[in-house]
Amino acid sequence: MKSVRLHDDGLVRCPWPGEDPLYMAYHDNEWGVPEYDDRALFEKLILDGFQAGLSWITILRKRDNFRKAFDEFEPAKIARYSDKKVAALMNDAGIVRNRAKIEGTVNSAKAYLKIMEEGPGFSAFLWDFVDGKPKVNNFKTTASVPAATPLSTTMSKELIGRGFKFVGPTIVYAFMQATGMVNDHLVTCHCHDKCGKMKKPKRR
C-alpha cells in the first residue's frame, strides 16, 4: 500500500485528482456528495456517458460548454431536439462531438420524461437501487475500488430497458460514485467520513 500523501493544504485526498485545482475542487465538493435532484442526476448521467473512452477531467473542463450547448440539461428541451440541432451540436468545438452520444442524449431525455410522468421521479427511481441511502465502502487503495458491481449492472439493465443510452455497468458505477450513491472515497481521504454522514435534505 502506498504511503498516504499530504497535500499543500494539509489534507489527504484520493490520489486521482492529482494537483489539478479544478479536479481537486470537484473531488472535495462534488464527487461522492449525495445528489437527489432529478435534473442534476440526469446531467451527471449524460456527462458520464460522454466520458466513455475519455478521462473525466476532459469532460469537467468542458462542462460549462456542455451545459450551454444542451440547454442546461433540461430534458424537456433536449427531448425535442431536431436533426438541425444535432447537426449544430456536431459543429460545436466546445463539447465532445460524437453523433451516437449526442443522439443518445436525446433518447435518454425522452426516457427520463417517461419516468417522471409514471412515478415518484428520476431521483427516487435511482436511489431505490441503494434503498435510498449511500452505500459506504471502506477501500484503502485505489486498486481495491471496482470498475463495476452487480448493483451497477442491475441499474444499467433497467436504464437500458427504459431507453437510456451509454449506460453500461462501468458508466453507471462511475455515476453512482459521483452522485454519492456509493461512497468510494478512500478511508484515508478527508471526504470519506463527511460524505458517509450526509443525509437526504428534507423536502421544503
Annotated binding-site residue? 191: no
One-character DSSP codes across 72-141: GG-HHHHTT--HHHHHHHHT-TTS---HHHHHHHHHHHHHHHHHHHHSS-HHHHHHGGGTTS-EE---SS
The C-alpha cell that represents 112 in the structure block: 427520463
What is the C-alpha to C-alpha distance for residues 32 and 184, in angstroms, rounded to an integer? 7
7 is in an annotated binding site: no
Is 192 marked as a binding-site residue?
no
Three-class secondary structure of residue 183 per DSSP: strand
First to last CA, the chain: 45
Q: Which of 28, 54, 37, 51 is nearest to 201 (CA)?
A: 37
185 is annotated as contributing to ligand binding? yes
Phi and psi of 166, rounded to 5°? 55, 50
Whole-number Å distance between alpha carbons of 48 and 18? 20
Geometric angle at alpha carbon 143, from 190 and 198, rounded to 5°: 35
Q: Detail the residues annotated as belonging to a binding site for Zn(2+).
A: 14, 27, 185, 189
**Residues placed in the known binding site:** 14, 27, 185, 189
